[in-house]
Amino acid sequence: MITPDDNPPSIDWLPWARFNLHRNPFGELTQDERAELAVVEIGYLTEMLGDSRQAVQFIGQCGRGKTTRMLKLRSNLPTSSYTYIPEKPPCPAIASGNPILIDEAQRLSRSALESVLRSRCPLVFATHKDLSRSLRKHGYRVHTEHIGKGNSPKLICELLNRRIEASRLHSGDIPVLSREDAESLVAEFGSDIRGIENSLYLRFQKSLEGGGDGEM
Amino acid sequence: MAKCDLSIKLDEPNRVYLGGEKVEGTVHVKVDSAVKCSGLVLSTGWKTHGRGNVTTGDSHDATVFSGQWNEGAKYEYRFSVPAGDWPSTYHGRFLSIDHYVEARAKIPWAFDPKTATPFMLQATQLPSGHEAEVRQREKKSLFPAVIGLGVFAFFLGPLVLRADWFDIAVFGSLIAVPVFGYWLIRKFLPRFLLGKPDAYLQENTLTPGQEVTGEFVTTTRKTVKVNAINVVLRATEVCVSGSGSNQRTHRKVVFENSQTLQSQITLQAGNESRCSFAFCLPEDAAYSVSLHQNSLIWTVDVEVDIPRWPDWSKNLPIYVVPAASQGSKTGNDPMRSDLVSSERQNERDSRATADSMGERVSANAAGELTFAETVAQLWSVREDREKVEMVVEAVTGISFKIEATVERRLLYAGDEDPHVFKDGYAVWARYPEPRLPMVLYVPHSLGDEFEQLGAEIWKGNGAIVGWDSLHGRLQIRLEAVS
């Protein structure tokens, strides 16, 4: 699946250099990198969110891409505010924004949810629970997207190759994940992108330690 | 839009740079159309990568050019930037640390093009905050217990208050039985048989290649047969990824050397038994690091394998640190003296910070301490949470003339925030320069003024009430206009 570059770069001490990479491409990324590398179409969402009574909710299981969509929206909408609600209380401060992005919105305390719903700002929720009833009650039009269903082999292939490209060391060849590879990963992990990345991280490290030709 | 390609060529890409040395090279710029660059900035810094959340640190930066680039031209600029001094470059299984030289061209009204190239750094001495870092890690061991108590108080406290005695007994036993079971199996039973077992190290701060020496000692109450006494020297990468319910801790043992000190032995009742052990740390042992959610931890684990009985074990942390430069070594234990001097320096720094603020606070009675000075002091120590809290404590309750630009209003100030005025609200703001983040608690009477403020600088009076450690903001309660 992954083969090293035929012309090794001049940085000999870097373990990933023989793949023409400067790191394992499937490790954790910063929030800015996640937004930059996201393969999501948000044009229609930003248009929709121009209306102050519009709410969007992303519903899906962990690791399917809810937070990535939120981060992409945040990076494209400079007036937005993003708040992650932790599992355990207390509920953190929530800044006003246009729109207001709330990650793990199902964890909002009643008073915090009330404050958000009364804000008269467009809202984007990433949630495990359908909150459309509360939103409609406060006069919002609700657009719901179920995240994970669209994680096709084509999309998986594109986003994983973007991650590899973002880890490029020099110009020249870098490993490429084929459509067949993506299909077999989807067959194994379904729509769980995080599961796929974790598995590839380990396989990539293993191929480095094996010292072989990099075939995983 | 103009295309601007940047590339960096280091003079010695395969050299190991020592802490504090200069990294030299050339940055190449190629533009396809005329563009104004307000600054070509070269900086050095480090970044973790792997399975843990990314942690970064900046060292230094330098602007090597500003001005006009012409269409189709190629430019070269020499640079020489300090390499930084901590942490060392490290490539493990779950954790890697790399240092980079980054070039960024500041282009007005466009995304800044940038590029980076890695270089290898070998730390030669402890950073000034190392001791504090270690202490923080030791403190963290109490964190789960504190969280557990907090969760208990939050969720079960109200239930207990409303419940009858039977419910309390059921709840109590649900918690007490596992805790008691753990204590019985892991603590009481092994000690019941082994008497007062203990293990210790002669020295827990070592340099690569040094010998780790220690001893297991016990005096049993009765004669005990033991399968084996095992000691293991380990280096473990501990990385935390995600947050909240998605948070995962990944551990990977990257070095392991075990010794069986004794096997199939009988510890005689009333006799003190001693078993000493010694390991040699590898010459290329990686230094202990604790970089937020990415750590490399060295430990010595001592375990007594007792047949048909719970085993006794003890975990002893060790700190692998760089060897000090020859010139600064004094006494018999150079590393110890280094750590001590590092600790003393930290104490001196902390004392100086506190003293300085203390003097200024006293001086404020005469109206001498300004908000600008307080902000400057906080800005200079903003990376060190302990020092920030020390400064904030020294100025809490003091009223200042405040200047701030408002970022945004808070819809919700957080659960049980005691600083929010009744009918008032809170805003996130920044001091104009340096741009220290602040939370301003606005009374109802100032509401209209803040609504109409826009991007202007607000001026008024307010008292410092604390530090929001979650968002790294100075908390200020504004005074209502009378």
A132 with A161, same domain: the answer is no
Q: Are B457 and B403 in contact (CB under 8 A)?
A: yes
Q: Does B141 touch chain A (CB under 8 A)?
A: no
A74 with A126, same domain: the answer is yes
Structural domain that includes position A168: 15-36+150-209
Give dist(CA B312, CA B455) in Å, integer: 64
Whether A215 maps to a domain, the answer reads no
Tokens 């330098």 found at: B62
Residue A150: name the closest of A49, A35, A65 by CA. Answer: A65
Cβ contact B426–A93 (<8 Å)? yes
User: B408 contacts in A (CB within 8 Å)?
Assistant: 81, 95-97
Tokens 């960024």 found at: B104
Same fold, B4-122 and B345-478: no
Number of structural domains found in chain A:
2
Whether A199 maps to a domain, the answer reads yes
Q: Does the B345-478 domain belong in CATH 1.10.3470?
A: no
Secondary structure of residue A158 in the 3-state scheme: helix
For residue A100, give the chain B residue with the closest CA: B411
Nearest to A15 among B51, B91, B244 (CB): B91
User: A24 contacts in B (CB within 8 Å)?
Assistant: 49-50, 96
Give dist(CA B331, CA B337) in Å, integer: 7
Cβ contact B409–A96 (<8 Å)? yes
Instruction: Beginning with the edge strand found earlier in the chain, give each strand of the sheet holding B4-10 in spatial order.
Output: B4-10, B22-31, B74-82
Whether A111 maps to a domain, the answer reads yes
| Rg, C-alpha atoms of chain B | 29
Question: How confident is the model at residue B359, as a pLDDT?
Answer: 54
A86 with A134, same domain: the answer is yes
Give dist(CA B104, CA B113) in Å, integer: 6
Last residue of a domain, one of A101, A126, A143: A143
Give dist(CA B39, CA B62) in Å, integer: 9
| Rg, C-alpha atoms of chain A | 20
Half-sphere exposure of A144 (CA within 13 A, CB side): 12
Whether A160 maps to a domain, the answer reads yes
Question: How confident is the model at residue B148, as a pLDDT?
Answer: 57
Nearest to B54 among A14, A29, A89 (CB): A29
Cβ contact A90–B415 (<8 Å)? yes
Last residue of a domain, one of A97, A120, A143: A143
Give dist(CA B253, CA B258) in Å, integer: 13
Instruction: Supply the DSSP symbol for B184.
Output: I
Q: Are B93 and A205 in contact (CB under 8 A)?
A: yes
Whether A32 maps to a domain, the answer reads yes
A188 with A109, same domain: the answer is no
Tokens 């194994």 found at: A188
| CA-based end-to-end distance of chain A | 6
Q: Strand B457-468 relative to strand B425-430: parallel, antiparallel, unpaired?
A: unpaired
Domain ranges of chain B: 4-122, 163-320, 345-478
Residue B53: name the closest of B294, B233, B235 by CA. Answer: B294
Question: How confident is the model at residue B97, as a pLDDT?
Answer: 97
Whether A27 maps to a domain, the answer reads yes
A80 with A117, same domain: the answer is yes
* Residues within 8 A of A (CB atoms), B 268-297 only: none
Question: How confident is the model at residue A146, as a pLDDT?
Answer: 94
Instruction: Supply the DSSP symbol for B152.
Output: I
Instruction: Supply the DSSP symbol for B288.
Output: P
What are A173's two structure tokens?
């060849």
Q: Are B95 and B39 in contact (CB under 8 A)?
A: no
Q: Does the B163-320 domain belong in CATH 2.60.40.640?
A: yes
Give dist(CA B334, CA B422) in Å, integer: 59
Nearest to A24 among B16, B49, B416 (CB): B49
* H or E stretch covering B272: strand B272-280
SS3 of A182-214: the string is HHHHHHHHCCCHHHHHHHHHHHHHHHHHHCCCC
Tokens 């649900």 found at: B174
A187 with A154, same domain: the answer is yes
Residue-by-residue pLDDT tens, chain B, 482 positions = 668 899 999 999 999 999 889 999 999 999 988 999 999 999 999 999 999 999 998 778 899 999 999 999 999 999 999 998 899 999 999 999 999 999 999 998 778 899 999 999 999 987 765 555 555 555 544 555 555 566 556 555 666 566 677 777 777 777 788 887 777 777 777 777 778 889 999 999 999 999 999 999 988 888 888 899 999 999 999 999 987 777 899 999 999 999 998 888 888 888 888 999 999 999 999 999 999 899 999 999 999 988 877 888 899 999 999 986 333 333 333 333 333 333 444 444 444 555 555 555 555 544 578 999 999 999 888 877 788 889 999 999 999 999 999 988 888 877 667 888 888 889 999 999 899 999 999 998 888 888 888 778 899 999 999 998 888 899 999 987 65
Per the document, the length of chain A is 216
| Inter-axis angle of helices B130-140 and B334-364, nearest 10 | 90
Whether A216 maps to a domain, the answer reads no
User: Which architecture does CATH list for B4-122?
Assistant: Sandwich (2.60)
Can you list the pairs that B357-363 forms with residues at least 24 positions away whose Cβ atoms lie under 8 Å?
B357/B390, B357/B391, B357/B394, B357/B395, B358/B394, B361/B394, B361/B395, B361/B398
Cβ contact A28–B54 (<8 Å)? yes
Last residue of a domain, one of A102, A125, A143: A143
Segments of chain A with pLDDT less than 50? 1-9, 212-216
Phi, psi dihedral angles at A14 (to 5 degrees): -90, 120
What are B397's two structure tokens?
């309750």
Residue among B49, B250, B425, B442 with most chain A CBs within 10 A, to mutate:
B49
Give dist(CA B353, CA B360) in Å, integer: 11
Cβ contact B245–A93 (<8 Å)? no
Cβ contact B412–A112 (<8 Å)? yes
* H or E stretch covering B350: helix B334-364
The CB density around residue A202, as the number of other CB atoms within 10 Å, is: 16
Instruction: Supply the DSSP symbol for B1.
Output: -
Estimate to the nearest angstrom the gap between the alpha carbon of B407 and the chain centroid.
28
Residues of A with CB under 8 A from a CB of B: 10-15, 22-24, 27-30, 33, 62-63, 81, 84-97, 100, 104, 109, 111-112, 115-116, 119, 201, 205, 209
Q: Are B63 and B4 in contact (CB under 8 A)?
A: no
Whether A96 maps to a domain, the answer reads yes
Half-sphere exposure of A214 (CA within 13 A, CB side): 18
For residue B7, give the chain A residue with the closest CA: A170
Secondary structure of residue A138 in the 3-state scheme: coil
Q: How far is CA B215 from CA B277, B285, B297, B408, B455, in A?
A: 6, 22, 21, 59, 66
User: A100 contacts in B (CB within 8 Å)?
Assistant: 411
